[in-house]
Amino acid sequence: MEFSFRSSSSKSARMVPRFFFCILPFFSLGFYLNVPTVQTFTGTYGINYGRIADNIPPPESVVTLLKAIKIKNVRIYDVNHSVLNAFRGSGLELVVGLPNEYLKDMSSNATHAMEWVKENVQAFLPGICGIAVGNEVLGGSDQELWQALLGAVKNVYNAVNTLHLAELIQISTAHSEAVFANSYPPSSCIFNDNAIQYMKPLLEFFSQIGSPFFLNAYPFLTYMSDPKDIDLNYALFQPNSGIYDPKTKLHYDNLLDAQIDAAYAALEAAGFGKMEIIISETGWASRGDTDEAVATDSNARTYNYNLRKRLAKKKGTPLRPKMVLKVYVFALFNEDLKPGATSERNFGLFKPDGSIAYDIGFRGLISSSASSSIISLKDIWKRAWIASYSMVLMTCGAVLFLV
C-alpha cells in the first residue's frame, strides 16, 4: 500500500498582498501532556527535495550530494519508496509528506492511517524523523480539506504513538501566509477569520504533542505583490533602512524576520506564544516570466547566500532572539515539470545534472564522465610514479650486482 504522489508546493497561486506577509482528541489531555518534545532538526539549515521533474539525479546521487554539501535536514512531499530506500540509514534526517489528496481518507479511516504509517514510515527507519500531514491546507480553496486536516493529523499521530514511534517521529503541517491578516507591522498580525476556527484546535493539539508551527514564507512573493512599497534590498537581506514596529519598539532589517515575527504575534494572540516556528519553505526564483522581473540568478544568489550567512549565526528574530531560526530552503533542484509560472520551475540551488545553479558556497556533483577522467588521470600518475620507482630500484640493484 505505497502512497506515492510527487508533489511540491505551488507558490504562484498564493501571491499575497503586503498585509499578508507577514473534533475531540482520541486520547485524554493528560496523556498528551506526558509526551516529550521530538527534536527533528539538526543545526539551522535544511532543504526541500521536490521531484516534479524528469531530469533530476536518482535518489542515491541525491544522498551523495546532500552529504557532500553537509545538509542533513531534508523535506520531501510524498513517500516514494525509491527515495526512502536511498535515505534509509544514510544519517540524513528526512521529513516525509502525506499529500493533501489523502487527508479526507486518513481523517475518516484510522486503519488506513495505521497502514500508511507502517508501510511508508516504520518500514524505512532509521532515517525518517517527521511527517508533514498536508501542505498549505488552511487558507487554500478546498473547505473539505480544512475540515479533514485535524482528524488526519490525529489519526497519523495515533498510529505513530501506537507503534511506539512518538519519541522519534514529529507530526506537523505547513501553512502559507494566507492564514494571516493585519500583519503589518509584525506585532499586529492575527490569524484571519476564516482560518482561526480550524487553526485553534490544531494548535491546541500540536502544543499537547510538542510540535512546532511550520510556515512557508517567501519574501520573493511578498515583494512582487507590492514592489512600490517594499524595498528590494529589504527582501534580499541587503543594507536598507528597514521598518520599525512602534508597539514592540523593534527594528527589522529584512523581510523574512518580519514575516516570522508576524507569525509569532499571531500565535501569541491565539494563546500559543511559546510555540516554535520553523520555516518549512523559503527561497527565490532564478528565472521568471516577463512580469517576474526580480526572478534572476543575481537576486536568487543574493537571497540564498545572505540567508545562509544569517542562519550560520544561529540567532533568532527580533521578537524571539533566543529561539534559533531553522529553515528548509526551497528547493534542491529546478523542477521542469511543475505547472504555472516560469518561476515555479526555477527555485533550485542545483541544476538537473547536479551542478550548482549559482554560487552560494556549495559545490555540485561531478559528472560520471568527469569523475572517470579524474580517476584515469590519477591512475596514470600513480602508474608513472610506480614505474619510475621500479626503474630506480632496478638500476640500484644492477649497480650493486656489478660492484
Q: CA-CA distance, 147 to 156, in Å (whole number)?
A: 16
Active-site annotation holder among 136, 177, 292, 344 = 136
Q: How far from the centroid of its chain's Cα atoms is residue 224's Cα?
A: 22
- Asked whether 214 and 202 are in contact (CB, 8 A), the reply is no
Q: CA-CA distance, 283 to 183, in Å (whole number)?
A: 20
- Asked whether 137 and 179 are in contact (CB, 8 A), the reply is no
Closest CA to 11 of 256, 234, 283: 283
Question: What does residue 245 show for φ and ψ, rounded to 5 degrees?
Answer: -100, 110
- Asked whether 77 and 7 are in contact (CB, 8 A), the reply is yes
Which cell is 151 given?
482528524
- Asked whether 329 and 48 are in contact (CB, 8 A), the reply is yes
Active-site annotation holder among 177, 276, 281, 335 = 281
Question: What does residue 287 show for φ and ψ, rounded to 5 degrees?
Answer: -155, 145
Which cell is 356 given?
550548482
Task: Categorise residue 182: left if φ over 0, alpha if ψ from -120 to 50, beta otherwise.
Answer: left
Active-site annotation holds for 281? yes
Q: Where are the alpha helices (DSSP H) in 228-367?
A: 232-235, 255-269, 297-312
Name the residue type at position 279.
I
- Asked whether 184 and 19 are in contact (CB, 8 A), the reply is yes
Q: CA-CA distance, 107 to 119, in Å (whole number)?
A: 18
Residues composing the chain? 403
What residues are annotated to the active site? Answer: 136, 281
